[in-house]
Amino acid sequence: MDTAEQYGEIFRTVSALSPAELAAFVAVAQFGGFRAAARRCDLSPSALSHSVANLENRLNAQLFHRSTRNVSLTDAGQRFFARLGPALDEIAKAADELSDFSSRPSGTLRINADATAAEQVLGPLVLKFMASFPDVQVEVVSERRLVDIAENGFDCGIRSSEIVSDDMIAVPIGPMQQHVVVAAPSYLADAPALRSPANLVDHRCIQLRMPSGSLYRWEFERRGEALATETRGGLVLDSSRLILAAAIDGYGLAYLTKWMAGPALDAGILEQVLEEWTPPYPGLSLYYPRHRHLSASMRAFVSFLREHGLQ
């Protein structure tokens, strides 16, 4: 008989037995009688007696000698108890370990985020979370396309709050965000006037290719007026970091998050234009399916982000 057949035979044998009846037998054997076992297990003596009798019928063997004054194991009962007792102890230990595992943050937490969001949360949040919960491994997958996190095996996603669908639970984790139009002083020195988004047709704009293949339309808003503008330019890139580099080199105008362009703006390497047309909007959110059971690691991560968030 090979291993698979052995396990199949074991399964058939064990599945024919009632766990409650096995536990009743062990309790009576350990505590020396039905009344003593009943007191310890908070059951009635008759319930224990009924369970043991059923077990003896299933096994076709007498496990206890019974008298009005004494209950003792038969030879068959002693052999059965010698085998069964340690096995039930191991099952109890396994259950305790599993309960401890399920309540202790551990294992791998998979996060899907766009590249900019991943950069924003990695140091301030993810690495600090891992320092607080060393048994948790984190995998961050950064991609611009919006994916179904449940279908693709992710625990959660981190993206702009505006694009999180209503069927998700969203946890805001940072301040307001802002997209800005920036350019190097060397470009602006000789560039045409730029007073409104309508003037963009006269400028070299560094364009962003979306995962769908379309070019991103720059979005503006002022005094309740919102518009999305198609831009022109000889340079098309698929990375915000590359767009930032091209803007710093003086190629033309770039449309970037204030978070990404901020250091260059502070250093005077870039200048912001059309400021009145680019108001802040809701920031990043952690999100996950509304009806998903959360692991201990995910619960800990959500609590951590609620408490700390992005400054």
160-217: pLDDT as tens digits = 998 898 889 999 998 899 999 999 999 999 999 999 999 999 999 999 998 889 999 9
DSSP bridge partners of 256: 180
Alpha helices in 136-271 (DSSP H): 185-189, 240-248, 258-266
**Cβ count near 202 (within 10 Å):** 11
For residue 9, the model assigns a pLDDT of: 57
HSE of 167, CA atoms in CB hemisphere, 13 A: 6
For residue 42, the model assigns a pLDDT of: 75
Averaged pLDDT, 72-91: 84
- Using N-to-C axis directions, what is the helix angle for 45-59 and 34-41, rounded to 10°? 110
Averaged pLDDT, 78-90: 82
**Token pair listed for 178:** 């802002």
pTM for the whole structure: 0.63
How far, in Å, CA of 187 to CA of 248, rounded?
Answer: 9
The residue among 289 and 42 whose pLDDT is bigger is 289
For 230-240, what is each residue's pLDDT tens digit? 999 999 999 99
For residue 84, the model assigns a pLDDT of: 81
Q: What is the mean pLDDT of the chain?
A: 87
Residue carrying the six token digits 């998700």:
168
Averaged pLDDT, 32-54: 84
The residue among 11 and 169 whose pLDDT is bigger is 169
For 92-141, what is each residue's pLDDT tens digit? 666 656 655 557 888 899 999 999 999 999 888 999 999 999 999 999 99
DSSP bridge partners of 209: 215
How far, in Å, CA of 284 to CA of 94, rounded?
Answer: 41
For residue 212, the model assigns a pLDDT of: 86
For residue 265, the model assigns a pLDDT of: 97
Is the pLDDT at 85 greater than 80? The verdict is no
Alpha helices in the chain (DSSP H): 3-15, 19-31, 34-41, 45-59, 75-103, 115-121, 128-132, 185-189, 240-248, 258-266, 296-307
For residue 16, the model assigns a pLDDT of: 64
**Cβ count near 267 (within 10 Å):** 9
Please enumerate in sequence order all residues whose Cβ is within 8 A of that of 264, keeping only pairs 6 or more positions apart, or say none.
Answer: 182, 244, 247, 248, 270
For residue 95, the model assigns a pLDDT of: 63
